[in-house]
Structure 1
Amino acid sequence: MDSGQEALTLLLLAPLFFICMVIEYRILKKRGYSDYSLKEVVCNFSLAGLHQAADLIATLLLMPFFLWLYQFRLLDFSLTPVTLIVLFILQDFFYYWFHRASHHIHWLWASHIAHHSSEKMNFTTAFRQSLTYPLSGMWLFWTPLMVIGFPPSAVVLIVALNLGFQFFVHTRIVKKLGWLENIFNTPSHHRVHHARNPEYIDKNFAGVLIIWDKWFGTFVEEKPSLVIDYGIPKQVNSWNPFVTTFHQWRTMLTLALSTKPTPFHIRLRYLFGSPKFADNAEKRGTTIK
């Protein structure tokens, strides 16, 4: 398995990403918006670099496990255009469940929150990723694909293409896209996902295909009359990429490892329960019995 395949794929897309950011910046500036700030752009790109480095190291370390797991595959797929399309759809299905779990399981949210912590919605927000995804276990959601029978190298490639597509939905200059809104994740759908408006929280988890949200009851249409408030309930207020990466880990582990008398099942809930459970405990400054 080529451990640098994801990084190489995203690197090849980099010129297109750059062109889109320049166009977006010029359009927003012409409209009088100040969505781009140098401090945030530097922070977002730093987070992207740390994320890619962590993913590369993790893939190298996990490669023997992936290849070992692949030997127990149920089927053998030759890599044809048809099987790659099937793999793309299946990987997007598993991405939906990873993304949904990342909003409802604190251990996963501790990584994913970095992506949501920006109060802006522009193309650079797509680069706002966490280096702790390998630790939280994002890769576990791709292992069923290897057991089914897709080669690990193909899985890594499709994951990279999925993430590459998602760059293009992080913008507010693109309005609704007609019939495409019925099938694909679009900027309109993803703006909803990044909102902290009560009507929009924990909705639209799609990677590429919005059909998963529609099938599983997590879809909400963007309302033209509702001004979107981007970010998270408790803002980080820091351009330091390490603060952005680790602030929720600190909250989670402080609660779970507290010296206060706390039942073991409560400590487990701080780690693997809903993030809201831990947030409520942190607000009160006490453990919950």
Structure 2
Amino acid sequence: MISTGKISLFATAIVVSASMIEAWVLSRKKTAHFDWHEVMLSLTDLVGRKLLALLPLSLAAPIFAFAWDHRIYTATINSALMVLLLFVGQEFFYYWYHRASHRIRFFWATHAVHYSPNQLTLSSAYRLGWTGKLTGTAMFFTPLVWLGIRPEVVLATLMINLLYQFWLHNTWMPKLGWLEYVFNTPSAHRVHHASNVEYLDANYGGVLIIFDRLFGTYVAERDDLPCRYGLTTPTRSHNPFVVQFEHWVSLARDIASSKRPWTAIGYVLRPPGWRPDGAGETTEDLRRGVTH
């Protein structure tokens, strides 16, 4: 039987190869500027994460172990119904993990790395940040373990979810008709990556888009409003360490400047851009036209 590690290595090779082919094609087009620096930063992110994966650093691992030891059932994925239930359950918790990663600054400090590319290409898909395992975002899937799904099955399902999302990171694929109502598509994901105020904090789904429609976070791509990629305050540096840690440095600086404990906690747990005086740059502030 092929090991999970070999499958992951094979998938990574395909993903990187496809992104390099796309980059080569796009760079030869005369109609738009293509920035190879963005591709190199994504490759550096990928290599760094692969190296860090060799270290036993995971906040979620002991949480998963505790949940498994205290599970209320032991599920066996041996039927189409169980596969479907696992898929829908994983999608539900992925939606809330992803929404929290945009709305809680502690998680955003890592997640922002994924949105730092100022162009959207397939290589953007594997720029995910080096500090994800240290923030414990996988713990959002703990209920599945507690319900009786083995931790390695939960993580494998999440890996498949992320692999699906690879092809969504492009600007050249059109809308896909009725599929837009059910699945996460390149069009829906372009909105998710856009920094236009009208598009912020939308389309959090992984494979499906139904939970965005259910919870009111779905926004359709508009023909009259082209997506602008990158962060609301764009990252211009080509230094991978700046890209990886600028949001952590900013968070640490705000915490250090706090005069009250609740203010420091607010910087950690409130949305990115929050300020205690109300003159911040959260999504809500930007939509109201409130800036520094």
Smaller-chain TM-score range? Answer: 0.7 to 0.9
Identity of matched residues, % = 33
Structure-2 change in CA distance of 1:233 and 1:240 (3 Å): same
What does residue 153 of structure 2 align with? Answer: 154
Aligned equivalents of 2:223, 2:180: Cα separation in 1: 15
Please say if residues 236 and 247 of structure 1, whose CA atoms lie closer than 8 Å, have aligned partners that are also in contact. Answer: no
TM-score by length of 1: 0.87
What does residue 276 of structure 1 align with? Answer: 273
Aligned equivalents of 2:34, 2:255: Cα separation in 1: 37
Aligned equivalents of 1:114, 1:137: Cα separation in 2: 16
Aligned equivalents of 1:60, 1:193: Cα separation in 2: 27
Structure with more relative contact order (C-alpha pairs < 8 Å, separation 6 or more):
1
Match of 1:263 among 260, 263, 268: 260
Residues 112-149 of structure 1, C-alpha deviations (whole Å, 9 max, x = no match): 11111111000000011111112222121121110011
Aligned equivalents of 1:61, 1:107: Cα separation in 2: 14
SS in 1 for 2:183: coil
Aligned equivalents of 2:104, 2:79: Cα separation in 1: 35
Name the stretch that deviates more: 152-161 or 46-55.
46-55
TM-score by length of 2: 0.86
Aligned equivalents of 1:65, 1:115: Cα separation in 2: 25
What does residue 284 of structure 2 align with? Answer: none
Q: What displacement does 1:224 show?
A: 1.3
Q: What displacement does 1:64 show?
A: 5.3
Please say if residues 35 and 122 of structure 1, whose CA atoms lie closer than 8 Å, have aligned partners that are also in contact. Answer: no
1:70 matched to 2:93: no
Structure-2 change in CA distance of 1:283 and 1:67 (3 Å): closer
1:40 matched to 2:38: yes
> Map of 1:1-289 to 2, 5 A cutoff?
8-25=6-23, 27-29=25-27, 31-34=29-32, 36-58=34-56, 63=61, 65-82=63-80, 83-258=82-257, 262-278=259-275
Please say if residues 9 and 157 of structure 1, whose CA atoms lie closer than 8 Å, have aligned partners that are also in contact. Answer: no
Residue 263 of structure 1 aligns with an amino acid whose one-letter code is R
Please say if residues 60 and 138 of structure 2, whose CA atoms lie closer than 8 Å, have aligned partners that are also in contact. Answer: no
Name the stretch that deviates more: 206-215 or 267-276.
267-276
Please say if residues 7 and 56 of structure 1, whose CA atoms lie closer than 8 Å, have aligned partners that are also in contact. Answer: no
RMSD: 2.5
Residues 228-250 of structure 1, C-alpha deviations (whole Å, 9 max, x = no match): 11111212211222111110110
Please say if residues 111 and 133 of structure 1, whose CA atoms lie closer than 8 Å, have aligned partners that are also in contact. Answer: yes
Unaligned runs of 5+ in 2: 282-292
SS in 2 for 1:153: helix
Please say if residues 58 and 136 of structure 2, whose CA atoms lie closer than 8 Å, have aligned partners that are also in contact. Answer: no
Residues matched between the structures, number: 278
Aligned equivalents of 1:145, 1:204: Cα separation in 2: 23
Unaligned runs of 5+ in 1: 285-289
Runs of 4+ in 1 over 6 A off after TM superposition: 279-284
